[in-house]
Amino acid sequence: MTTVLFALVAAAEETHGPASPFEVESGLFIWTWVVFIALFLLLKKFAWPAILRATEEREQAIRRQLDEAQKLHAEARAALEEQTRLLGESRTTAQALVADARAVAERERGAAVEKTREEQEALLQRARREIAAERDRAVQEIRREAVDLSLAAATKLVGRRLDAATDRELVEQFIASMEKGK
């Protein structure tokens, strides 16, 4: 392998290349420019339009994507605003429903209280009527007893007996006159 390396170095020395990197060879210089210009023209004719077209297509695709993203962003913002508005309306509606339900419940409670009060008053009136009727019956019973006792006492005192209907009538008139005198 070292022999191949020495052979290459020897061949390079025989071609008499430039001794310094700053030394200019005119043949190499011309060929370098010819190759550069040929490559430039080939790239300009074949590669540059394809590269430019691909770049423009990419730019248009990015622009479309940005426009679409802005459009979607605007739609999302509008949807968010709509959602916020609907949420506010829903809250307002819910609060109104709750307020209505409270008002209805308060009316129902008031109606129930009033109905209970009316039933209580009716029950109290009926109890008062029953008490008054019972009191009147008791007073009548006491009067009858008083009349019977009075008649019995008067019979013993007088020693004779009048007929029962006349006796009773006399005593009732007496008791009625006593009540009016009070």
Check pLDDT > 70 for residue 65: yes
- The pLDDT of residue 153 is 66
pLDDT digits (tens, 9 = 90+) for 131-165: 988 888 888 888 787 777 777 666 655 655 567 77
pTM above 0.75, yes or no: no
Check pLDDT > 80 for residue 102: yes
Q: pLDDT: is 147 or 46 the higher one?
A: 46
User: What is the pLDDT confidence band of residue 82, given thresholds at 50, 70 and 90?
Assistant: very high
Domain residue extents for the chain? 53-181
Query: Other CB atoms closer than 10 Å to residue 155's CB: what's the count?
Result: 13
pLDDT digits (tens, 9 = 90+) for 23-43: 777 888 899 999 999 999 998
For residue 112, how far is the Cα from the chain centroid? 30
User: What is the pLDDT confidence band of residue 100, given thresholds at 50, 70 and 90?
Assistant: very high
For residue 30, give both structure tokens.
Answer: 């011309």
- Tell me if 168 sits within 8 A of 151, measured CB to CB: yes
Q: What is the rounded distance in angstroms from the CA atom of residue 3 to the CA atom of residue 65?
A: 63
Q: What is the rounded distance in angstroms from the CA atom of residue 63 to the CA atom of residue 55?
A: 12
Check pLDDT > 70 for residue 4: no
Check pLDDT > 90 for residue 21: no
Q: pLDDT: is 15 or 120 the higher one?
A: 120
- Within a 13 Å sphere around the CA of 116, how many CA atoms are in the beta-carbon half? 6
